[in-house]
């Protein structure tokens, strides 16, 4: 649980920074584009980790696992879309 919190806290801070940038119309700046890309990578990595739990023998409810994986992939797609389409 500690490692989960160690990953979620920085992501929450980045989301807050991104929200502030969106409010100010600055999502097209280089720093915020890189933060979007970093969020996309972290969401995709989290989904991959959840996908790998079952083959490793960890008992996980299949429905909860699939919902979490889909949520992570959708988040990764949204962040990637913002990375490519944000304008200065």
Q: What is the number of structural domains in the chain?
A: 1
Q: Is residue 3 part of a domain?
A: no
Q: Is residue 2 part of a domain?
A: no
Cα 64 to Cα 19: distance, rounded to the nearest angstrom:
28
Report residue 72's pLDDT band, with 50, 70 and 90 as the boundaries.
confident
Domain that holds residue 39: 10-85
Strand ranges, E, within the chain: none
**Residue 30 and residue 52 in contact, taking contact as beta carbons nearer than 8 Å:** no
List, in order, residues 6 or more apart from 87 with CB less than 8 Å away: 28
Q: Would the pLDDT of 56 be above 60?
A: yes
Residue 24: per-residue pLDDT:
92
Q: Is residue 81 part of a domain?
A: yes
Report residue 1's pLDDT band, with 50, 70 and 90 as the boundaries.
very low
Residue 23: per-residue pLDDT:
93
Residue 3: per-residue pLDDT:
55
Q: Is residue 79 part of a domain?
A: yes
Q: Is residue 39 part of a domain?
A: yes
Q: Is residue 29 part of a domain?
A: yes
Other CB atoms within 10 Å distance of the CB of residue 18: 18
Q: Would you say the pTM of this structure is higher than 0.75?
A: yes
Cα 88 to Cα 85: distance, rounded to the nearest angstrom:
10
Q: Is residue 5 part of a domain?
A: no
Q: pLDDT, tens digit, for every residue of 6-41?
A: 667 788 888 899 899 989 989 889 999 999 898 888
Q: Would the pLDDT of 64 be above 50?
A: yes
Q: Is residue 1 part of a domain?
A: no
């Amino acid at each position: 649980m500690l490692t989960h919190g160690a990953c979620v806290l920085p992501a929450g801070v980045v989301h807050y920074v991104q929200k502030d940038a969106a409010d100010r119309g600055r999502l097209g700046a280089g720093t915020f584009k890189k933060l979007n890309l970093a969020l996309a990578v972290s969401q995709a990595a989290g989904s991959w980790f959840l996908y790998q739990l079952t083959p490793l023998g960890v008992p996980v409810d299949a429905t909860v696992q699939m919902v979490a994986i889909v949520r992570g992939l959708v988040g990764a797609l949204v962040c990637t879309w913002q990375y490519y389409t944000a304008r200065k």
